Amino acid sequence: MGRRGATGLAGILLVDKPAGLTSHDVVARIRRLTGEGRVGHAGTLDPMATGLLVILVGPYTRLEPYMSSADKTYNATITFGSSTDTEDAEGAVVASAEVPDSVLDRTFAERVLAGFLGPQKQRPPAYSAIKVNGTVAHRAARSGSPIELAERDITVFEAQVLGVDARQCAWNVSFRVSKGTYIRSLARDLGEAVGVPSHLSGLRRTASGPLSVEDSHRLDELTDVVGAFTDPIAALGLPVIHVEDTMIANGSPLDIALARGLAVDTDVTVVCNGILRAIYRVTGDRLVPRVVLPSADIS
């Protein structure tokens, strides 16, 4: 007997998430459209945020760790003059202050952002989905007992001023950041850096690794999910090796010679007859399987 809710579909779908929906809402919509029970996403977007949400269907849900680890690019609007408990526009204002004209100078904004580039520690927002000893941070915060969250290592690779809106006391900024970076917290920290309360008032994810929101599909226009699947090999963005299907049928290790020139601990995409079949990792003397996708599941 087949798995309940297993349709045989396997794919990666790029959705342009609208404001007001959670990432889980989008996943539920795709489940209804496809009838497939195994649907997930690679990288949560808050309800307020819009833009690229990478949806994984069928056995491709097993690719989530590889898709989620990609750098993310965002267009963010950071408003100065008030801060909120959630660090974004959906929260309650907890502090406010006048915004000096100097903060709304583009050269000043560029100089401040330059100081945020590179590896750093970030304090996640109290209102987040992080779990500590089984307790979800945002639920604890709403109950009046916020959890002290440990700082995490992040990297800001790029931070570019797109514009300064003096009337709205806001900076429009493009960020490219590592996995796990909270743009809400960057907005908070920018306010602290300039001495003015601030919060994130707008957010749109424009890219995840090699994937662009320009290639995504609007949720309200999505009817043919299978026809909308993107190329999974390109989506992974990993080095590619081609082998015969029988060589990996039982998850067997592969000859290290297939990965000549690649460093140890590099993940590679394994392709058989043009179809994504596995992800292997380079070790010291061979390639070992990380994910092997059953060929019967691949559409």
| Catalytically annotated residues | 46
Contact 265, 284 (CB under 8 A): no
Q: Residue 72 corresponds to which tokens in the numbers above? A: 């993310």
The residue type found at 97 is: A
How is residue 225 written in tokens? Answer: 């999910």
Compute the residue count for the chain.
299
Q: Are 43 and 53 in contact (CB under 8 A)?
A: yes
d(CA 217, CA 236): 19
User: What is the rounded distance in angstroms from the CA atom of residue 145 to the CA atom of residue 137?
Assistant: 9
